[in-house]
């Protein structure tokens, strides 16, 4: 089978022809039908992601497909079941083996593409805003990188949770995507973010996927007792947070990494996915997928992420 692999840490990913894997006890083999791309895939190639498996490994963090084979001891899953798996890696291939406990059965209404697009982007935003930041109705939520994979879901979920949502993104086209997702106020990247947000009354919760100067500006526009979620660093710079400013304004900076919960509190992830799948069934959320590409065009998909030319998700269909 074909797999998009990294052979050694820091090396550029490339296709490899590898044997179809056999599931070990407690695992399932999936005929992969869709895999969502994430900024983490780029970081893994650079060797800078916080959770990199030993090389060689196949890229692709979130997948959906059909159970093809079941390992010894697996209960509740059978050949032919449609499932989603937040795998952490292994998704950019024709087949993959994954721990059965990470698999969630798909509702009949949900496409493989939607299932691959929902897990990390929506799961990150839902758990960050609800479980970690405790966003309340009527609060003001500032989302930076608001047209990106996770930023767009933060806009959508923030609005569902009753917040006033300020969306910050680059260019009219991306801001229009954020508006369609529910943003109340739009701020272009060319504007002075700090000044504009303060004119609007400040932010109670900041969901930042960019880092660098954007985070610094958002930090300075946060209201007393505000909460800041540094979700990602698509701008390339990890911001340094002045602790004395936290004291003066009684601010809270909240760390969040969805993959960590799979290790120490997996039920939080499962509960979040159950909520999101229910919202999808009700038509309350709908993943925005700007590009759907076949497996042999995965490098093109990675370039779209790197150059920030996609909106929402890029999904690969092996």
pLDDT in tens, 161-195: 999 999 999 999 999 999 999 999 999 999 999 99
**Cβ-proximal residues to 108 (8 Å cutoff; 6+ apart), any chain:** none
* pLDDT per position as a tens digit, 31-81: 999 999 998 999 899 888 888 999 999 999 999 999 999 999 999 999 999
pLDDT at position 114, please? 97
Q: Do residues 47 and 55 lie in contact, with contact meaning Cβ atoms separated by under 8 Å?
A: no
Residue listed under structure tokens 């930041």: 133
pLDDT digits (tens, 9 = 90+) for 297-314: 999 999 999 998 998 899
pLDDT grade, residue 149 (50/70/90)? confident
What are the structural domains of the chain? 2-119+264-317 (3.90.180.10), 134-253 (3.40.50.720)
Buried b (16+ CB within 10 A) or exposed e, 254-290: eebebbebbeeeeebbbebbebbbebbeeeebebbbb
Q: Residue 11: which pLDDT band, with cuts at 50, 70 and 90? A: confident
CA distance from start to end of the chain: 10
**What value does the mean pLDDT of the chain take?**
94
Could you write out the DSSP letters of every residue in 218-276?
HHHTEEEEEEEEE---TTS-PPPP-HHHHHHHT-EE----HHHHHHH-HHHHHHHHHHH
Q: Looking at residue 283, what is its pLDDT?
A: 93
d(CA 8, CA 30): 25
pLDDT of residue 236: 75
Determine contact, residues 92/59, Cβ cutoff 8 Å: yes
* pLDDT score, position 10: 73
- The whole-model pTM stands at 0.87
């Amino acid at each position: 089978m074909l797999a998009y692999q990294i052979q050694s840490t820091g090396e550029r990913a490339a296709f490899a022809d590898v044997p179809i894997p056999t599931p070990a006890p407690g695992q399932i083999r999936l005929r992969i039908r869709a895999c969502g791309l994430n900024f983490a895939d780029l970081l893994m190639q650079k060797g800078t992601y916080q959770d990199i498996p030993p090389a060689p490994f196949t890229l692709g963090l979130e997948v959906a497909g059909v159970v093809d084979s079941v390992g010894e001891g697996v209960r509740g899953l059978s050949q032919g079941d449609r499932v989603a798996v937040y795998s952490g890696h292994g998704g950019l291939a024709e087949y993959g083996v994954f721990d059965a406990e990470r698999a969630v059965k798909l509702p009949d209404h949900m496409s493989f593409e939607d299932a691959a697009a929902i897990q990390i982007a929506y799961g990150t935003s839902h758990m960050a805003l609800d479980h970690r930041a405790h966003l309340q109705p009527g609060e003001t939520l500032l989302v930076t990188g608001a047209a990106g994979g996770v930023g767009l879901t933060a806009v959508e979920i923030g609005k569902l949770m009753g917040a006033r949502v300020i969306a910050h993104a680059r260019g009219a086209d991306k801001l229009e995507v954020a508006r369609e997702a529910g943003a109340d106020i739009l701020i272009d990247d060319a504007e002075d973010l700090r000044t504009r947000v303060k004119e609007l009354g400040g932010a109670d919760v900041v969901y930042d996927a960019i880092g660098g100067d954007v985070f610094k500006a958002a930090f300075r526009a946060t209201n007393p007792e505000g909460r800041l979620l540094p979700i990602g660093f698509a701008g390339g710079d990890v911001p340094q947070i002045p602790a004395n400013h936290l004291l003066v304004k009684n601010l809270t900076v909240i760390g969040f990494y969805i993959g960590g919960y799979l290790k120490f509190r997996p039920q939080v992830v499962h509960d979040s996915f159950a909520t999101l799948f229910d919202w999808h069934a009700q038509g309350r959320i709908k993943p925005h997928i700007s590009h759907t590409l076949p497996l042999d065009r995965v490098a093109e998909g990675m370039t779209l992420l790197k150059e920030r030319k996609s909106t929402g998700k890029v999904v690969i269909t092996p």
